[in-house]
Structure 1
Amino acid sequence: MPVHARGHGNSRSTTTDNCKDLCQPEMGQKYSKQLSMSDFLASNNPCGQTILQLVATGNAIISELLRLSDYVPPVFKVANVKDAGKYGEIIFDFSYFPKQEYYDDLINGRPDLQDTDDEFRENNLTLLTRFYQAFESVHKYGIEFNRLVQIEGSQKNILPVDDFIILRYVEDLMNGTYLQQTVENVIANEAGKQLMTEAVYLFGVMLIILDLKYDAAARERMIVSYFRYSGKRNALDSNIDEVGKLLARNDGFSLQPYRRPPGYPENYFKRIGFREDIIGMIIGRLRSDDIYNQKKAYTELEHQTTAFATQAAMIYVLLYFYPDILHNKPAVMREIVDKHFADNWVINLYMGITVNLIDAWDQYKAAKAALNNTLDIQAVKNRAQIVYSSIGKLNTQVEQYLTEGVLIEDYVLKNISQLLRFMKECNICLRWIILHTSELPIGADTNKRCKQMLNLTISEAHYNPAEVFQLLLNTAQFEFNLKEIVSQLLVEKYDRWNANKREAIERLLELADVFSGAKPLTRVEKNDNLQAWFRNVAKKIETLDFDDWTSAGRQTNQIMTALDEVQQFHELDTNMQVKQFLNDNKRLLSTMILLNNVQESTLSIMELVADLSYAWIIIDSFTLVMQQGIKRNPSLVTKLRATFLKLSSALDLPLVRINQVGSKDLMTVSQYYSGELVAYVRKVLQIIPETMFTMLAKIIQLQTNTLKELPLRAEKDKLREYAQLDERYQVAKLTHDISVFTEGMLMMKTTLVGIVKLDPKRVLEDGIRKELVKQVATALHNGLTFNPRAKGSELIAKLDALGIQMEGFRRSFEYVQDYVSIYGLKIWQEEVSRIINYNVEQESNSFLKQKVYDFQSSFQNRHIPIPRIAPLGDGSVNFMGRLCREILRVTDPKQTYYAEQRNTWYDWRTKQPIVDILLFRKIHRAVGSFGLNGLDRLLSFMIVKELQVLTDTIQSVFTQRESADMLDSFQRQLMPIDSLISK
């Protein structure tokens, strides 16, 4: 929520009927004594601290839901459990509960299913526990808020705030647990109404994220699996039934393909049972108030919807808890739309998750009718055309501001209001065009009217992603420069103000001395009156107090006016030296006034206006534009730095309340969002290593296939042939281009993105590693793919070709290392070993009961991921398995025999050599010592598996008595004789 949240309060009527009519704000005036915002959030106020803790917890839960959404095991996400392979018979949805005994007996009655079930539990229980804890936290959050507002009556002693007393907040408020606090006066309080609104809004966001990021069937399967494996079946404190009811699939709702049944999502939101009277009171506040006091930053009438953008998202969510307004209250909906959605229909719900109101409100009569005014074709055309004309003008103007020497301290001091207005115009224009031309969200992409409005907006606004991105890029740089100057002015403000004050006093005293006759200037006569007057003015300046600026500012203006009057009255303009003295004094006094116009609130307004959280996800649509710009001009990276910093301001949204309450979740939530942003920055900048490797591929081609190796001695007439000037020029040019891209990357300074420090040299090296891993992994995959139908073995030919390719990679990487300032050989060895070891580990999983998944692997890295290529269906997981099985196939004892004296395998039928000892040299050249070690490990696993099959077979064969007797007899015959042989 916005950091600088201000507003005034409201309360509710005591009757439910009035609440259903969304009690008018005047009703809160009967509560004459209200706590201030700071008092409500004071550490000794349990009421404020409890709701603050609740909201902080809500933001932390959302970050956990978003974080875990990338780790849902694929077996849970299949459309039909039958597609889950061998796990299909042990994965159940909620249909498991009515037939629990039947399914358990089915599994227990089959040893193979028991083994599969045990394996699945060992591999997934830890992850399932974390998922369930996140789901349970959502349920607890809703229950605890619900209890917060329930009871009215007796005054209780103040209770200590523990981890989950927040869950009883509403109940405790109405029960009188918090002395002198009720729901009404909490909602009437500045901070209270913000936090109550946020508490309900965040719960709605959780439910929406659960449906957007987690398929309902997958949720059910994960909950059932956790229930079966966790030992919570008979736990007294288990609330798995309630969690299941909240997160059960919504009848008829589906994302793929998209289906939205009538009553969705309000029926989904009703499951927790929030009280409509409380929701009605909060909606009443949102209708009447500017709860975050954003209009202080957006004073112009046409900026109203931008000022209310934050609470617009909140009222959108809250209306689903009170759907009667959406259906049957046209007047209320018209009021809400006119205030919050007068010129926009695409809103930012939370951290870049967008909602298209055309689709979202399509099934609500009152809401749909109220939105029609906003969606008037001519109104949309006019708005789009205004934005189109603004983009060009703003781009031109911002480029003028970014011209060297324009945006300096003096200019900022004199024009701070104008600069802030311009900054608002840029950001409002960007917000509207980016949101309303973005890709339609799920659901809206199948709505005919949504498509019509999108096409109309794109057409009328002459939407050009490159132009919009250019404005975003320039605006971010402008804001960065302006913030740096304003921040520096705030730091130096007190010292500079006092320095100007001292200099103004000294100059006036010097001027007084001039009129005393003690320091004669040319044609300046002695004037005792002027001497006394100037000394008196100097004394007045000396009394100015920096801390009492209201009075000081007024007196400074009066002094400047007096200096103008005395200059005209006494005709002091005739003496250039005196005139210069007076002008210098007025300049110093004017600077003092300007310095005090730069307040801390100026920086706060700038941070508020520069918010880019609405583009947290949409920004990805500009990735290609950014990368094309970098390819054309690598120095663009320096401007992108300001854009990434602007985007990092979005981190304030989920962290404000967590930071206010001093929650231990601050670090984990910060790390998640910072990590997501850093990952995106790396994705954009990856174009530099990609381009470098495209050039490097050409160098590899030239060095491997074109350039001849120089002999130690050569005949004179063959020197030109060996010189290969054109080819060497191409190598030199490509190498230079690579160094230019490197310089462009390194021009970006070290940047703090959230809590993660982004070092451009490290980003470049990681990018080079990533591209190297991608290229080498692809080469290994393609090079070690064998055709089972080939007449002869492809093994030797494939290893030779791969060896040449790998050698070319290594040589070129060594060649270019000095031009990009990296340790090429070290990187080569580290990454190739990581690729081989990772693939050996994944291939080994097929032999292990407890498997190592991608996110658990010590060889996998989020920033330098090893590609996981789908198996080819030949029984192997990856190229290491294929290589191992191909070696076993060509040396199969059924078709070949090994001649130890010659270290060679021969074909049984033709007696021709198949492979010899040189095979291992070729393998070493292709996959290195790491590959040989990996093959050894895989063969060991295969041997163990064969021995297990053998022992199982023997055990099954000799279970009968006759077979056991025969084996005992055979054993006795083989035992050494330890007695005399009988005659």
Structure 2
Amino acid sequence: MEEPGLSRSAASTTVGGDFPELLGFCARVEALIAELLLLSDRAPLQFADRRFDSILFDFRYLDSPGDFESRVEGNIELEALEDQLRESCGSYMQRFFSLLDGAVTYHEELCNYLNDLQEGLYVHCTLDHVLENNCACQLLVESMALFGCMILLMEHKTSGLLRERLLVAHLRYERCFSYPNLERMCELCRRHVPSLATSASSGSSVFSPDIISIQKPEDLLRRFPFPEPVVDAVITCLRNGDVYNNIRFYPDPQHRTTALSLQGGHLYVLLFYSDDILHRGLAMREIVDRFFKDNWMVPIFLHFSVDLLVSWDAYKEAKLSLVSCLSPTSIRDISLQHYTKVTHFLADLDIHIHATNKDYVLDNSLSLLSVIRECNFTLRWLFLHRMTSDKKARDLVISVGSSQQVDEGTLLQLLLKTAKLEFEVKKLHVELLKTRESMWYEKRRDALECIKDLSQNYLGTWAASCKFKNKTLKDWLEHLSSELISLNYTSIGSCGRTIHRVLSTLKDIEMLHQIKESVQVKQGFSKIHKNLHDMIKTLNLNHEAINILSVITDAKYAWVYLTLFETLLKKNISQDPSETKFLHTVFLKFQSWLSAPLQRIKQCESPDLHCISTYYSSKFAAKIFAVLDVIPEILLKTSTAVDYVNIEQPTHLVNRINQEALQELMQMDQQLCQARHATKLCIISEGIGNMSSNFDDLVNLNLGGWLKKAIKKELAIQLERKLKCLSSYGDMESNLNSLSNFMVSQMQRMEFLEDVLHIDGSSIWQETFTTVLEQCAKKEFLELMACTQKSANAVKQLNNVYSPSTFFGGHELLGMRFFNLLELCVGQAGLACLDSLVHILIKHNMENTVKSLHSLVDPKRYEDLTKMDDTLGPPMSIPLMGWSSYKQMVKMLHSAWGQLVEKLATIGQLQLVRTLISFKLRSSCKIKANTITSAVEVLVSSLYMHKGVFEIGDEDETVRFFLHIIKEQQNFCGLFSPLQVIYISEDPPMFLTRLLSLFSISQLPRYVLDVHLGNLTSPLKGSTADFSAVIIGLGTILRQFDSFFMTQYIQFMVQYIRTAEAAFNATTDTPKGATPEAPKAVFWLMSLCKYMDISRDIVESCFPASALAILQS
């Protein structure tokens, strides 16, 4: 998805808060970073393709542009590459250019603002005022530090060569060499060339793309410096203060570096803008002691981190300060401290998770927050430092984990359980805050009832003889009751003091000797105590706990681990589908990855909010879908184990069941297994529902649409695998039976999933099945068009069946039974796809046949055929030379008839198959969709009635599209006759009708007219020659051209019939048993007219009465 570009000026002028200028700067720099990340993820492949190296230039082009342009000018190949690059990458280069312009403009305006600020040009604020104001100080720090982050990310994500090439290419194509900010933009894009010395201890890892490792970053950042007094003042503020007020969320001193981690990331960047702090040992020792004494992996923006052991390697004082705190022994001890807590945390989390409810959260709020804080502290340290770039440190940290049997799987379990507890505690806190007033009054009512019960039943006049009566205590309790009644929830301060006074009074009462000896009275007092304490806890409920949770549960630093844990999560889900029920809690833990880079943009109400949030949301959703990708496969695999309908044992038809067979008939084990599989499906459905409901306000996942697409994709893979498996072995009928059972089970499975997942399973099945069939048909079509080598799929098997040598072998190969079975497997859509493929085969064979007829008429045969036409005379006459002229010409072309028979027979067989398919389509549609079929018939009839009108409007695209759709529907419903279809549009061969008439005459001796069968049959035993296929193929050839050719062919054949009859009657020495040719020729011609649906008028005009009499005799 292509997001729109940034609107810098609008963001910069938006006013919000007490410091609108600083807020605008922060919003702009967050937008610039988002645009940089987006563009770096979508860098054009052309700039890495060596084919384009000849037209991609770096900054050397700016020194002598003429020399470089001369290489391209006049070179047709390079100019074509330039056009291709401009067309494909023009919009990307424009966005990159806008990013550069926005960055340099931002720096210029921010520097002007800072200079004005320190010079006191703003009446309402000065630099000291900004630094003293907590909110303003945060904005000032972010406006400077995030710009430095952007420069570091640009160097990290896009190489200097790529930046130079992008900028030069844009300048060349847009001819904007005089752009105002061009020099500063070139400075931003220029390659950073540090010294060749590198740290010997650094090594690459799988986390390298997310760890910024740039040598001499100060040289890169000082290309765009900030005023030194401002930098020094900001660094001093960061070194000594708590800019983000996070220390209050981490009361344990051991967590101090985590509390200041955000501040420490900004300080890391700003130190490179200072001239000497990195080289001052005392200052760096103070900084390390406060921010980095127990950690060296520092996130500076989202999940992008720096490794201080590598980054500070070139700064002696900084490295010494760091190493003094983080020696190998210290690293080992810190690692061991965190790893040993993991097992304890896992057990502790299980206890809290199983006990968590509203009362538990109300009673143990502080302890739950403490557990969550400790777990997150350990997770943060282990996640960050297991991905360090320093090889020795990384190996040391991982080796300690291995010794404690803590690996990625264990850390994932800790992450999952921590996220689950966080989610439950936060959700219950929110519910408690919503209902705290009603809960408070409920607790007060329970306390008053307990006091009343004690006063009346144990201490008052109603007290039984076994109880004691004490008028003073009764009055005292009634006084306490009146005090509780007077309490009002809105007066929180006075309520708290009153409740504490009541509790103190109750403790004094409990000290009485009589109270201590009465178990019932003591129990009553304990209930009152419990309700009063709950009232105090309810009064103390506020949003502070939610704020604490939002800070201590932040996990955006571990975003990269979602990719690392993807395989483990998929494996866990496959083994235990119940993992999906709480999978949403893991991703909710990373929601700060979405909110953090949008915080200032939202506050500023920038118009860039939509496009930037869309970018981050798409990245977030991609991570979720990458993990959920395994669910469709699990769904289909699990649903396969459910036996939907047992066709072989129709127990619903049994009228009587014997007692001995009842146990076997109940199939308890099988039903238990199916119930377990159905439970798994329901659990997965619940997990998907949780994921969808909890992300509604965060990311537009559209899990319903995604699940449909994913199931379609997985279902298509299984269908293709099944079709491929069936087409590779076995005979066609057994394969079709197997495929039919498979299709029925698939359809039932999708119907079952429809009820469980609340999706339209039947629609998904139909759409997927139709798509797979269309893709198979398209693949087959491409193979046919490319004339590829023979494959073993079903259509090619049908093509083998069409072979004239096997088509008429005494048993049915393709008939209605076969197509009934085929329809059960592939349905209407499959039959329609098969029909389209047979259409292609017919067209291909037609083209080859017409081509061979063209080549048959060479110059010599052209002369012979011309002479023969002259000899035979007009069709209505009898040749002077009689029958001998036909024999001579048939003999001359004898060598060509064999190939022509095969080709015409193939065409005829394909036409017969297509006729069967058309009949099956039409009959099925009449039964299953009679209304649609009738509507299509009416439309087609209407089109034929208005044929002339539509022919005039053929140039209209809408009309053409409408006609195309109607044609598709007509074919789908089988409302066409294949024998009337025009397959090719070519010029007819010369002497077409004469050649085909001679061919027909040459084939007549091969057949005998069987009066019992009413057909032409071959007298040779075992012959495979099929008369019907040949005559249909011949008629199809004639149908492709003007109707004149069909009429002329009939006339030529009638001329032959009259000539043959005359010759037969004139011969007196006819051998005994000889069959005259005239009746066979008449039957041949009448069969052609019947198959090709030739009108009766044409038949009567061409057939003389004598020819019909011959047939009748």
- Report TM bin, short chain: 0.5 to 0.7
Equivalent residue number for residue 139 of structure 2: 195
Equivalent residue number for residue 83 of structure 1: 51
Task: After superposing the two structures, state which structure 1 stretch, 218-227 or 545-554, moved more.
Answer: 545-554
User: How far apart in 2 are the matches of 1:572 and 1:378?
Assistant: 61
* 1:13-48 C-alpha deviation (Å, 9 max, x unpaired): xxxxxxxxxxxxxxxxxxxxxxxxxxxxxx987761
Q: 1:775 to 1:68 in 2, by over 3 A?
A: farther
Is 1:378 matched with 2:329?
yes
TM alignment of 1:78-227, pairs within 5 A: 78=49, 82-84=50-52, 88-104=53-69, 106-110=71-75, 113-151=78-116, 173-227=117-171
Equivalent residue number for residue 746 of structure 1: 685
Maintained 8 Å contact 2:15/2:21 = no
* 1:169-214 C-alpha deviation (Å, 9 max, x unpaired): xxxx234443141112201211122111111221122112212221
* 1:22-77 C-alpha deviation (Å, 9 max, x unpaired): xxxxxxxxxxxxxxxxxxxxx98776121112112222222222222222110113
* 1:410-451 C-alpha deviation (Å, 9 max, x unpaired): 22222211111111111111111112223x5xxx3xx55445
Equivalent residue number for residue 258 of structure 2: 306
User: How far apart in 1 are the matches of 2:441 and 2:751?
Assistant: 53
How big is the shift at 1:271? 0.9
Equivalent residue number for residue 39 of structure 2: 68
How big is the shift at 1:895? 14
Is 1:656 matched with 2:656?
no
1:489 to 432, 447, 453: 432
TM alignment of 1:403-422, pairs within 5 A: 403=354, 406-422=355-371
User: How far apart in 2 are the matches of 1:473 and 1:344?
Assistant: 24
2:282 to 331, 334, 337: 331
* 1:219-273 C-alpha deviation (Å, 9 max, x unpaired): 2222222223335344x6x423322211221125899999999962111101112
- 3-state DSSP of counterpart to 2:298: strand
Q: 1:547 to 1:372 in 2, by over 3 A?
A: farther
User: How far apart in 1 are the matches of 2:852 and 2:489?
Assistant: 96
User: How far apart in 2 are the matches of 1:218 and 1:895?
Assistant: 58
User: How far apart in 2 are the matches of 1:698 and 1:594?
Assistant: 52
2:238 to 262, 283, 286: 286
Q: 1:588 to 1:668 in 2, by over 3 A?
A: same
* Equivalent AA in structure 2 for residue 312 of structure 1: G
User: How far apart in 2 are the matches of 1:810 and 1:452?
Assistant: 54
Task: After superposing the two structures, state which structure 1 stretch, 90-99 or 595-604, moved more.
Answer: 90-99
* 1:268-318 C-alpha deviation (Å, 9 max, x unpaired): 101112123212211111211121121111111111111112112111222
User: How well do the aligned residues superpose, as a CA RMSD in angstroms?
Assistant: 5.2
Task: After superposing the two structures, state which structure 1 stretch, 606-615 or 316-325, moved more.
Answer: 316-325
User: How far apart in 1 are the matches of 2:54 and 2:383?
Assistant: 47
How big is the shift at 1:101? 3.8
Maintained 8 Å contact 1:398/1:475 = yes
Maintained 8 Å contact 2:221/2:273 = yes
User: How far apart in 2 are the matches of 1:366 and 1:488?
Assistant: 52
How big is the shift at 1:777? 9.6
Equivalent residue number for residue 344 of structure 2: 393
TM alignment of 1:951-966, pairs within 5 A: none
Equivalent residue number for residue 652 of structure 2: none
Q: 1:581 to 1:272 in 2, by over 3 A?
A: same
How big is the shift at 1:691? 4.9
- 3-state DSSP of counterpart to 1:372: helix
User: How far apart in 1 are the matches of 2:572 and 2:44?
Assistant: 38
User: How far apart in 2 are the matches of 1:537 and 1:246?
Assistant: 75
Give the unaligned 5+ runs of structure 2. Answer: 1-13, 197-203, 650-669, 783-836, 857-894, 918-963, 969-1113
User: How far apart in 1 are the matches of 2:637 and 2:676?
Assistant: 11
User: How far apart in 1 are the matches of 2:160 and 2:637?
Assistant: 43
Q: 1:516 to 1:809 in 2, by over 3 A?
A: closer
User: How far apart in 1 are the matches of 2:373 and 2:214?
Assistant: 40
Return the TM-score normalized by structure 1. Answer: 0.68
How big is the shift at 1:499? 3.4
Equivalent residue number for residue 368 of structure 1: 319
Maintained 8 Å contact 1:739/1:819 = no
Equivalent residue number for residue 174 of structure 2: 230
Equivalent residue number for residue 677 of structure 1: 620
Maintained 8 Å contact 1:745/1:760 = no
Maintained 8 Å contact 2:328/2:393 = no
Equivalent residue number for residue 704 of structure 1: none
Q: Which has the higher contact order (CA 8 A, sep 6+)?
A: 1
User: How far apart in 2 are the matches of 1:806 and 1:675?
Assistant: 40
Q: 1:453 to 1:197 in 2, by over 3 A?
A: farther
* Equivalent AA in structure 2 for residue 240 of structure 1: L
Maintained 8 Å contact 2:23/2:604 = yes
Equivalent residue number for residue 319 of structure 1: 271
* Equivalent AA in structure 1 for residue 344 of structure 2: K
- 3-state DSSP of counterpart to 1:599: coil
Task: After superposing the two structures, state which structure 1 stretch, 655-664 or 818-827, moved more.
Answer: 818-827
User: How far apart in 1 are the matches of 2:518 and 2:607?
Assistant: 69
**Aligned residue pairs, count:** 772
TM alignment of 1:525-674, pairs within 5 A: 529-530=472-473, 532-569=475-512, 571-573=514-516, 579=522, 581-674=524-617
Equivalent residue number for residue 187 of structure 2: 245
User: How far apart in 2 are the matches of 1:838 and 1:669?
Assistant: 41
User: How far apart in 1 are the matches of 2:681 and 2:432?
Assistant: 35
User: How far apart in 1 are the matches of 2:579 and 2:88?
Assistant: 46
* 1:798-838 C-alpha deviation (Å, 9 max, x unpaired): x99x9999999978754642343365675467569989899
Q: 1:293 to 1:47 in 2, by over 3 A?
A: closer
How big is the shift at 1:97? 1.8
How big is the shift at 1:399? 0.9
User: How far apart in 2 are the matches of 1:241 and 1:837?
Assistant: 54
* 1:902-926 C-alpha deviation (Å, 9 max, x unpaired): 9xxx99x99997997999999xx9x
Equivalent residue number for residue 721 of structure 1: none
Is 1:49 matched with 2:7?
no
How big is the shift at 1:744? 4.0
* Equivalent AA in structure 1 for residue 38 of structure 2: R
Q: 1:582 to 1:290 in 2, by over 3 A?
A: same
1:297 to 214, 235, 249: 249
Q: 1:77 to 1:210 in 2, by over 3 A?
A: farther
Maintained 8 Å contact 2:58/2:164 = yes
Maintained 8 Å contact 1:325/1:366 = no
Task: After superposing the two structures, state which structure 1 stretch, 749-758 or 268-277, moved more.
Answer: 749-758
Equivalent residue number for residue 769 of structure 1: 712
Maintained 8 Å contact 2:213/2:311 = no
- 3-state DSSP of counterpart to 1:373: helix
User: How far apart in 1 are the matches of 2:47 and 2:273?
Assistant: 30
- 3-state DSSP of counterpart to 1:321: coil
How big is the shift at 1:606? 1.2
Tell me which structure has the larger Cα radius of gyration: 2
Q: 1:740 to 1:577 in 2, by over 3 A?
A: closer
Q: 1:346 to 1:515 in 2, by over 3 A?
A: closer
* 1:560-599 C-alpha deviation (Å, 9 max, x unpaired): 0111212334734556665555443322211111112332
Maintained 8 Å contact 2:451/2:528 = yes
Q: 1:828 to 1:575 in 2, by over 3 A?
A: closer
Equivalent residue number for residue 292 of structure 2: 341
* 1:115-164 C-alpha deviation (Å, 9 max, x unpaired): 5434432332222222222232222222222222113xxxxxxxxxxxxx
Maintained 8 Å contact 1:399/1:474 = yes
Return the TM-score normalized by structure 2. Answer: 0.60
- 3-state DSSP of counterpart to 2:143: helix
